Amino acid sequence: FNLEKGKYVSFRFGAAGTRAVRIELVRVDGTVIATFYNEAPGKINTEMHAYFYQYTGETTACFFRVVDDATSDYGCIVVDDFRANLESAPEGFIEAIR
């Protein structure tokens, strides 16, 4: 998808209780724009939390990458409700780590 300057992306994400599980927002050239770690407050295995990121660069083609580098615990990732080019940050969502 094309992500426009100044717009937001959001989605819901839950995973096994490890930081090694994450979602990355990536340009088609492979450059990671933002990383969303499984670090929500009160983290419980596979509890869904909502994340967002505001993109400030020029319009670019990109995609989401689901990454599971965990070597222990059970393997579970749940993602849902991907949205792109929102006009404002969704309320109650967790901001990405840039």
Q: What is the pLDDT of residues 47-63, one digit of tens each?
A: 788 899 999 999 999 99
Question: What integer pLDDT is reported at residue 78 of this predicted model?
Answer: 86
Section 34-48 average pLDDT = 72
Q: Which pLDDT band, with edges at 50, 70 and 90, does 38 fall under?
A: confident
How do beta strands 94-95 and 49-54 pair? Answer: parallel
Section 14-35 average pLDDT = 88
Helix or strand holding residue 77 (H, E): strand 77-86
How do beta strands 2-3 and 60-68 pair? Answer: antiparallel
- pLDDT at 11 exceeding the cut of 70: yes
**pTM of this structure:** 0.85
> How far apart, in whole angstroms, are the C-alpha atoms of residue 91 and residue 58?
25
Question: What integer pLDDT is reported at residue 2 of this predicted model?
Answer: 97
Lowest mean pLDDT among 23-27, 40-44, 51-55, 74-78: 40-44
> How far apart, in whole angstroms, are the C-alpha atoms of residue 73 and residue 37?
16
Q: Which pLDDT band, with edges at 50, 70 and 90, does 70 fall under?
A: confident
